[in-house]
Amino acid sequence: MKSLIWVLLAGLALSSAAQASLINRGGGMIYDDDRNLTWLADANYAQTSGYVGDGLMSWPDANAWAANLSYGGYTDWRLPTALNQDLSGPCGSGDGCTGSEMGHLFYSELGGVAGESILSSSDPDLVKFSNIQPNAYWSGTEKEIHISQAWFFGMDNGYQGFTKFTNFYAWAVRDGDVAVVPEPATLLLLGLGMAGLGLARRRR
């Protein structure tokens, strides 16, 4: 009986993980298994948490916010990198850059189209996130040689560019996966299973 319960729970977890590369881990965290990267589900958490009124920050302030963020039991949050997955690049300014972490999320995961807001996408994974702003987000990557500039990515149009002389939004990520926060249905199933196990023991 006990073995059957654990096999059932493991099967549920594996089946949900196998169906998508963006996996809702619960607790406001979304895991991208293509990039081995965890995103905050709230794309404007700096505002939601009360850190800054509207969520808009300078590049130094955005980096400081991410570096000092403690969320979900983790303290190693950062801004997304504009580098490609093999650490080359960035791929340059313009549309269609899928190599950066935000570019991969926009184009490859959420079905974004160059020149259009990500909010117009019909991709079902979009609902896993909240508070995505139709504006630009800072990366944590400064421009090579010209460190007076830093890369940003527009969730309003899929455009990647660079500047440091304005305020943009910040979206925190961390390397690797996170522990799964059990959903209520999973907890209910576990509770029923343990209750069944208890009844089976009493009958012996």
Mean pLDDT of all residues belonging to the chain:
86
pLDDT at residue 59 tops 80: yes
| Any domain includes 7 | no
pLDDT at residue 31 tops 50: yes
Sign of CA dihedral 83, 88, 93, 97: negative
pLDDT score for 85: 82
| Any domain includes 100 | yes
The pair of structure tokens assigned to 199 is 């009844």
How is residue 49 annotated by DSSP?
T
Residue 40, Cβ density class (10 Å: 0-12 exposed, 13-18 middle, ≥19 buried): buried
pLDDT at residue 194 tops 60: no
| Any domain includes 187 | no
Q: How confident is residue 12, by pLDDT bands cut at 50, 70 and 90?
A: very low
Q: Which long-range contacts (CB under 8 A, 24 or more apart) does 25-28 make?
A: 25/177, 25/178, 25/179, 25/180, 25/181, 26/180, 26/181, 26/182, 26/183, 27/72, 27/178, 27/181, 28/71, 28/72
Kind and range of the H or E run holding 153: strand 150-154
Q: How confident is residue 182, by pLDDT bands cut at 50, 70 and 90?
A: low
Structural domain harbouring 166 = 21-182
| Any domain includes 12 | no
For the segment 92-112, what is each residue's pLDDT rounded down to a tens digit? 788 999 999 999 999 999 999
| Any domain includes 201 | no
| Any domain includes 74 | yes
| Any domain includes 1 | no
| Any domain includes 44 | yes
**Count: domains in the chain:** 1
Section 56-63 average pLDDT: 98
